[in-house]
């Protein structure tokens, strides 16, 4: 839909003769698509971490059981048993962090669903459909539901004219730079 002659980003704050609710609809739908793609991108790495962590934990649990079965009763456990227990604890912690992703994913998909519901309500109401202020209100309501700075930055970038794919690449890059940190919200 974007051509060299067509401005990108929203015009709800400064509508002119080229303002179109259809263009605003497409912009918000593209933003929703970007959020879903970002969630899916994050899910792939979390699932990989879960798979690797639980596979390794199963190996450590087997080794721990073998060590316990072979060990003579002693007051102080052998070093290999301590190391195995420490490895197992680390793997469990990694799994917990990866599982926290699902809470974030569920919230993000919920926000997308609510956004699409609000968009649907606006487009379905002839009294609101052609009113730029209604579109501005919807945009603000959508933005206010985002829980991370990266999501709000992606929203602002797209609304201000950055192509969705470019904003998504920036979002994914920011999330990679954060590493395994989980943001509680």
Asked if residue 38 belongs to a domain, the reply is yes
| Contacts for 23 with CB less than 8 Å, ≥ 6 apart | 1, 6, 11
The span from the CA of 53 to the CA of 39, in Å, is 21
Ranked by mean pLDDT, the top range of 17-31, 51-65, 89-103, 121-135 is 121-135
Average pLDDT over residues 63-85: 73
Asked if residue 156 belongs to a domain, the reply is yes
* Residue indicated by tokens 């990108």: 8
In the DSSP assignment, the letter for residue 120 is H
* Percent of the chain scoring above 90 in pLDDT: 18
Cβ atoms of residues 78 and 71 within 8 Å: yes
**Residues of the domain holding 138:** 21-178
Asked if residue 48 belongs to a domain, the reply is yes
Average pLDDT over residues 152-172: 92
Question: Would you state the pLDDT for residue 153?
Answer: 92
Asked if residue 95 belongs to a domain, the reply is yes
The span from the CA of 110 to the CA of 95, in Å, is 23
Asked if residue 185 belongs to a domain, the reply is no
pLDDT band, residue 20 (cuts 50/70/90): confident
pLDDT band, residue 179 (cuts 50/70/90): low
Lowest mean pLDDT, pick from 52-56, 114-118, 156-160? 52-56
Tokens linked to 118: 């609000």
The per-residue pLDDT of the chain, averaged, comes to 80
| Contacts for 161 with CB less than 8 Å, ≥ 6 apart | 7, 8, 9
Asked if residue 153 belongs to a domain, the reply is yes
Asked if residue 5 belongs to a domain, the reply is no
The domain tally of the chain equals: 1
| Contacts for 54 with CB less than 8 Å, ≥ 6 apart | 91, 95
pLDDT at 4 over 60: no
Asked if residue 69 belongs to a domain, the reply is yes
The span from the CA of 130 to the CA of 98, in Å, is 44
Tokens linked to 160: 């201000």
């Amino acid at each position: 839909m974007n051509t060299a002659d067509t401005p990108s980003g929203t015009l709800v704050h400064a509508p002119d003769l080229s303002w179109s609710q259809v263009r605003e609809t497409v912009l918000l739908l593209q933003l929703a698509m970007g959020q879903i793609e970002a969630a899916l991108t994050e899910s792939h790495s979390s699932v990989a971490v879960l798979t690797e962590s639980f596979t390794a934990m199963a190996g450590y649990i087997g080794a721990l059981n073998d060590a316990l079965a072979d060990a003579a009763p002693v007051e102080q456990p052998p070093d290999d048993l301590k190391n195995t227990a420490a490895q197992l604890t680390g793997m469990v912690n990694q799994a917990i962090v990866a599982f926290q992703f699902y809470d974030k994913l569920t919230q993000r998909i919920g926000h997308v669903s609510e956004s699409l519901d609000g968009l649907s309500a606006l487009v379905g109401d002839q009294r609101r459909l052609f009113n730029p202020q209604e579109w501005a209100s919807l945009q603000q309501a959508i933005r206010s539901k985002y829980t991370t700075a990266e999501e709000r930055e992606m929203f602002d970038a797209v609304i201000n004219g950055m192509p969705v794919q470019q904003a998504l690449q920036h979002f994914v890059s920011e999330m990679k730079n954060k590493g395994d940190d989980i943001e509680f919200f």
